[in-house]
Chains A and B, each alone.
Chain A
Amino acid sequence: MAAASMMPIFSQNVSSNSDLVPEWSRQEVSTGTTIMAVEYDGGVVVGADSRTTTGAYIANRVTDKLTRIHDRIYCCRSGSAADTQAIAEVVSYQLGFHSIELDEPPLVETAAHLFRASCYRYREELMAGILVAGWDRRKGGQVYCVPIGGMLVRQPVSVGGSGSSYIYGFMDSNYKPGLSKDQCLDLTTKALTLAMERDGSSGGVVRLATISEDGVERRVILGDQLPKFSTH
């Protein structure tokens, strides 16, 4: 298939002369991050922080880690910024081509499988943890997790990135099946805020997107509007 032959080769060339370049520019740009995706009846809510770091320097404090793959399919990126951007571009291309051939909107499962194919084949070269989430007519809202290594699993709620460790407990205790869209948004905002407060590599603003049959609705919650928790 023409789409398959377009798969580029992922390789990394690092050349640096240690005396002439500052240390931070020799460190890989990483989206040490917190990302989250939740299914609800009728769609999905995806969220992410907005910090991109190069070592200790925050290269971008307003990053958009919620990347559009197709009209109703988004992905949340964590890991190496370069790797995830490259994979997302490849998958967008492949999915767009596939959708034209099919003459109908692509399935979220298809997008997830395309991500997995790239992440698994090039697992040695890549460092990418991706959440694929979206809505399609066949199965409604779906969240698929493609962590580092290239596994694929569908989960009703999933978190990823370096900040995710801190919110597993919160997520386990607060998520229940059958939440409404607003409850999902609230849960995601709180979870991301808690992670951003504890993880040095996550921070900035909270970016949210709701994907449903009606389309995609994006919003940003700025730092001073984030929920506050009792400080100690």
Chain B
Amino acid sequence: MEKHFTDSRVKGVSTGTTILAAVFDGGVVIGSDSRASIGGEYVSSKTINKVIQVHDRIFCCMAGSLADAQAVTKTAKFQLSFHSIQMESPPLVISAASVLKQLCYNNKEELQAGFITAGWDKKKGPQVYVVSLGGMMISQPVTIGGSGSTYIYGYVDAKYKVNMTREECLQFATNALALAMGRDNVSGGVANLVVITKEGVEHIVIPGDKLPRFSDE
């Protein structure tokens, strides 16, 4: 009789990471941890940036194989800037997500990467899209991903409310990342957050010792 040994490395195809994005009233927060690991045993980078800018007001977070994710985002960035020039206007967030989706769906056999795309555009305001492993694209007000995300499903379900203020949403995202990094051994380092609004983009980095602590630590 086979026994099941849960191994966070093998569950789904998530690599060590925690990524999230959440819509608030007037903008969107997208964030991640900063640890890259090999097989869950060696931390190859403590300060890797997983939040990639694909256009002025559109960012994306990657989960899965980092090599695949970097290749895909580079291609998507190019295609999106070309599209933006042709249309003579900034691209829509859904366009960015669709570009990623096309790449993920058409190459689903070779790729092992999922994305969260978040941004602001004139047509629909702040939006979050998730493109999962096989190439499904779906829009959600809040979404989490990566191996560390399993530990914060309950927290996110309980705590997220629509139309939060910017400060509430930042606090929510910071807490969620801190909780995930506290439980997942392949997520860690600093919390990288990006706040995207109509006015612009703000990068916030919270080092490990400044992250919120919870009672059991």
- A residues sitting closer than 8 Å to B (CB atoms) are 12, 14, 28, 127, 165-173, 175-177, 190-191, 194-195, 197-198, 229-230, 232
Contacts and interface: CB of A to CB of B under 8 A. Distances in A.
B154 A230 contact: no
Contacts, number: 71
Contact of B150 (A12, A165, A230): A165
Interface residues of B, number: 28
Nearest to A176: B215
B212 to A, nearest CB: 9
- Which of B150, B154, B156, B214 counts the most A-chain CB atoms under 10 A from its CB? B154
Given A172-B183, A232-B140, A198 B1 contact: no
Main secondary structure of the interface of B (DSSP, over half): helix
Nearest to A177: B215
Contacts of B158: 170, 190, 194, 229
B109 interface: no
B209 interface: no
Contacts of A167: 153-155
B151 A169 contact: yes
Given A165-B151, A198-B153, A198-B157, A175 B215 contact: yes
Contact of A166 (B141, B150, B214): B150
Contact of B160 (A175, A176, A177, A232): A232
A152 to B, nearest CB: 19
Contacts of A190: 158
Interface in B150-187: 150-162, 175-176, 179-180, 182-183
Nearest to B5: A148
21 contacts: A165-B151, A166-B153, A166-B154, A167-B153, A168-B154, A168-B183, A169-B152, A169-B154, A172-B179, A172-B182, A172-B214, A172-B216, A173-B155, A175-B216, A198-B153, A198-B154, A229-B157, A230-B160, A230-B161, A232-B160, A232-B162
